[in-house]
Amino acid sequence: KLLNLCSKNKINPLIGSAGVSAVPMAARVSNKVGLESDAQNFLLMHAMGPNVAGVIGSAIAAGVMLKYVLAM
């Protein structure tokens, strides 16, 4: 919501909830909640971007953790 105050174009806050690496369920839940609010609100493809970014971030974090664990 803070970003919406600072930006010219509004961003749906449901997109942030899709940023976990539960593919594709988190994006589907965001889409379903958005459709309940507004039947014209199709968020699935917009929610998949942060969803995939969450997967990539999890993979990088796992690699860093493995590096430090195996270095012990």
Domain count, the chain: 1
pLDDT in tens, 13-70: 888 788 887 788 889 999 999 999 889 988 899 889 988 998 999 999 999 999 999 9
The whole domain housing 10 covers: 2-70
CA 67/CA 5 separation, integer angstroms: 41
